[in-house]
Amino acid sequence: MGRGNIYRRRVRIFSMAVIVYLDYKSVQQREKWTSKSKQSALWEKAHERNARRVLNLMIELEGLWVKLGQYLSTRADVLPAAYIRLLKQLQDALPPRPLEEIYGTIQKELGKSMDELFANFIDEPLATASIAQVHRATLLNGQEVVVKVQHDGIKTVILEDLKSAKSIIDWIAWAEPQYNFNPMIDEWCREAPKELDFNQEAENTRKVAKNLGCRDQYDINMNANRVDVLIPDVIQSTEKVLVLEYMDGIRLNDSEALEAFGVNKQKIVEEITRAYSHQIYVDGFFNGDPHPGNFLVSKESPHRPILLDFGLTKKLTTTIKQALAKMFLASAEGDHVALLSAFAEMGLKFRLDLPEQAMEVTTVFFRATTPANESYKTMKELTDQRVKNMKVIQEKMNLDQKEMKRFNPVDAFPGDIIIFGRVLNLLRGLSSTMNVRIVYLDIMRPFAESVLSGYINRGPSVNSRWIFDTPVHSDVEAKLRQLLIELGSNDKILGIQVCAYKDGEVIIDTAAGVLGKYDPRPVQPDSLFPVFSATKGIAAGMLHWLVDNGKLKLDENVANIWPAFGSNGKDAIKVHHVLNHTSGLHNAMADMNQENPLLMLDWDQCLDRICRSAPETEPGKEQLYHYLSFGWLCGGIIEHASGKKFQEILEEAIVRPLHIEGELYIGIPPGVESRLAALTVDKDELSKLSGLTSRSDLPSTFQPQQIVQSATSFTPLLNALQVRRAIIPAANGHVSARALARYYAALADGGKIPQPHSSASEPSLGSHPHNPEFSAPKITANERGWRPKRMTIPLINRTNDSEDLEANRDGFTRIPTTDSSSNYSSFNSSSNVDRDSRTHSSTKIFDNPRIIDQFLGTGEYKNFALPSGGFGLGFKRFSSIDGPTLVFGHSGMGGSTGFCDVTNNFSIAVTLNKVAIGAVTARIVHLVCSELNIPVPADFTRFAAAPRGPDSESNYASPIIN
């Protein structure tokens, strides 16, 4: 192709693009002056006129433009009928190339004359497409074949057309920014040239046929995910000629023949969809060009799809394949966390934190197909929804029309998902063309599940990387890893972290398993696990920190700090009653939990519910576990005593001093979803609690039967994004074991901050800096009057709303809110620091030399706790069967725990995502303590061997009920 031809070709392309663009713009203007009854006809004429222009140009230019036309002709679900009707001609009915050209290419490529190659060669082509022409022939041995011959000079044409297409897309993106298709054209520029080598196509054909098992369809070992399709055998190939087995079939656009042969179109399209599901999710290698011209239906019964043309294929990495499967399943389950995590894994980045819209878009992406006659209604609904979504963004970001027109919420769009999306859209168009309805969620789900479960269920016995590759710190850690492998092989562990400190130094830091049932990525040291009531030990530490700072007194009436709390007989409740679980408010939140668990996501409503509650027992007289109310009681006291948000005190008191940034949250911020472990339930283990009797030390609303029911039924809810982002101080901590162990290592040593964590662990502890922003809580003037010297709430002048739109380190733009219950707002935490607060030494988080007595409610603090009670002041007292030791901490439902042994300066944390009765944790603690010659806390001895005897019931129940 000479330069003159290239120039003329580009002029024709750009001229047509401008003509079509201006035509539609003029129709937009004319529509304003046209009656509604005539508007439809106005647009139909415009579509017919422009579709014919586009068709004629594509036939004239051939090459890439035919390929584009073939793609567009399949999109009956989005394009006007005129385009579909006219562009269908491009699927296989282009003007044939001269026979002299065909013969010349064959003889040059195969090195023999036509007579030496074929007993018969039919000059009339079966089809002429964008890149090649196909003829039927008979080999000298009598085998019937088809010969695919590449058009002469097509490679140069395709490459030049890609440049022109890229220029047009750039122009469209400039003129109409909301239609920026650059990611698509960029990926096409990378992939399209691969179609020009028929040797590669031959290899692709063999590979897909092998993956789909096309030659052993009736193997007795057929499983549910096998597909019933045919693919021709490859006979011979060169760069420009491909000889394939001939298969007699019916074209998908031949409706009369399909009907005459009694072909079930629904079944055919379903089987094609299953074949692509297998290629994408199971094989990670798929044909990227499923337009109707690339399929036939076998004439003999049972009628099966015949898959053709594997020139454009895409290979997925294991990570991307799993991420696509995870994205699909997250959409099916409505799991925002898993969806955002899948996006992060595949490299899809958003500029905004709007998970609801992300789920909405993905659900649309995987929606069921609609027949062509319903496409207009479907597209109108999708367009209306898109306009609505963009309006939400515009209002929240305070953008004008011009800014909004050029705003793109997607920051990075990976090429893998573009080809995947193209395939899904082509299949959707195929369904519309065939006038059938395909429910992708039903057809694709088994394939997506199989690829993830295939990686998850292999376990440590066959997965050498089941234990994450980090250094072994000690002999006891080496033995622990062997135990974890044993437990994992017996399906007792899904994902787990264990970290332990001895004398201020890390001796164990191990991560193993996978992040979730549908998340085969390995657990890493910085993964975040939900730890339920283990969070109570953190909330208690925050309260003690305020006492240590002089902001609070243990014997102070809560109502003095929090005036609204004093109603309904609660005026005598003191701070130490709350910490010691003796306030009488053990059932305070039970009605909310039964009414609607999602109400617990509203911070203000929960605090109000606490204020309106009434004690059931006299304060200080009876210790009953405050399983939910403890967190809200602590949270209300913390905010009212400090004048700051709960999470701000968490950062100031614990996270920053211990250098555990990014690995300890109560209510996760946006941007950490990819590090979250997902919960699943060990139903076999939990069933052991089903027949247990009531326990006197637990509230009436928190007995074994109710715990089992909660653990089983609420697990999906606890995996939900809106729950994980909520501040639920008693039950919603998301931590790594190394962060939790470091916290208890500091407590064990009287608040002394341990030495820096081992730099050998990757990523290093605290390497996820996150600077959350908080607004001060609402405090009335009367409340301020109670504590003028302990509380300072600086005023912040906001003169420019645009300053509220601030990009954080996680890559999202935070949308400002005036909702007081919001976890994150536009106030910077550093500006809210109490200027009067006492600054601690950089080596300690507590200054009180008797702080451990304070935690345990012993020594001079013994009057603040019940002597025989299981709880000190906010922490569970762990007794030892081997002698007196000072051990305290807190476990969570399902097995996660954190505690320290003060006597032996030892601390340990275990985080796991398989909710059970605590047997795994108990065996780990027993092993570690035994190896270190440290007394094993009685709470963890009961599972060293199978429980037996009259106390076996309570042995099973205790670990989960903490």
- What is 457-508 written as a DSSP string? TTHHHH-TTSB------SHHHHHHHHHHHHHHHTT--SEEEEEEEETTEEEE
User: Which residue from 320, 322, 319, 263 is spatially nearest to 296, judged by alpha carbons?
Assistant: 263
CA 808/CA 608 separation, integer angstroms: 32
Residue bearing tokens 């819209």: 357
User: How is residue 455 written in tokens?
Assistant: 């990686």
Catalogue the E-assigned strands of 106-214: 118-121, 127-128, 132-139, 144-150
Side-chain half-sphere exposure of 554, counting CA atoms within 13 A: 26
Distance of CA 45 to the CA centre of its chain: 45
Which amino acid would we find at residue 134? V
CA 203/CA 234 separation, integer angstroms: 9
Distance of CA 585 to the CA centre of its chain: 38
CA 676/CA 897 separation, integer angstroms: 17
User: How is residue 718 written in tokens?
Assistant: 């606890």
Which amino acid would we find at residue 262? G
State phi, psi for 663 to the nearest 5 degrees: -130, 10
DSSP H or E stretch at residue 612: helix 603-612
Helix axes 3-31, 36-61, angle to 10 degrees: 180
State phi, psi for 890 to the nearest 5 degrees: -160, 135
* SS3 label, residue 146: strand
With contact defined as beta carbons under 8 Å apart, do 918 and 924 qualify? no
User: How is residue 779 written in tokens?
Assistant: 């405090």
The three-state DSSP-derived secondary structure of 534-582 is HHHHHHHHHHHHHHHCCCCCCCCEHHHHCHHHHCCCCCCCEHHHHHCCC
User: How is residue 180 written in tokens?
Assistant: 């920026």
- Dihedral of alpha carbons 521, 525, 526, 531, sign: positive
User: How is residue 823 written in tokens?
Assistant: 């976890």
Instruction: Specify which residues 136 forms β-bridges with.
Output: 146
CA 445/CA 453 separation, integer angstroms: 12
Instruction: Please indicate whether residue 23 is annotated as part of the active site.
Output: no
Catalogue the E-assigned strands of 34-74: none
User: Which residue from 962, 928, 960, 932 is spatially nearest to 944, judged by alpha carbons?
Assistant: 928
Q: Length of the chain, please?
A: 962
With contact defined as beta carbons under 8 Å apart, do 671 and 597 qualify? no
CA 560/CA 562 separation, integer angstroms: 6
Residue bearing tokens 């650059």: 182
Q: Is 370 exposed, middle or buried (0-12, 13-18, 19+ CB in 10 A)?
A: buried
- Which one of the listed residues 77, 161, 289, 682 is annotated catalytic? 289
CA distance between the termini of the chain: 78
Planar angle of CA 350, 351, 352, nearest 5 degrees: 90
Q: Is 140 exposed, middle or buried (0-12, 13-18, 19+ CB in 10 A)?
A: exposed
User: Residue 238: which residues within 8 A CB-CB, separation 6 or more?
Assistant: 109, 110, 198, 199
Distance of CA 125 to the CA centre of its chain: 49
State phi, psi for 192 to the nearest 5 degrees: -55, -40
Q: Which residue numbers are catalytic?
A: 289
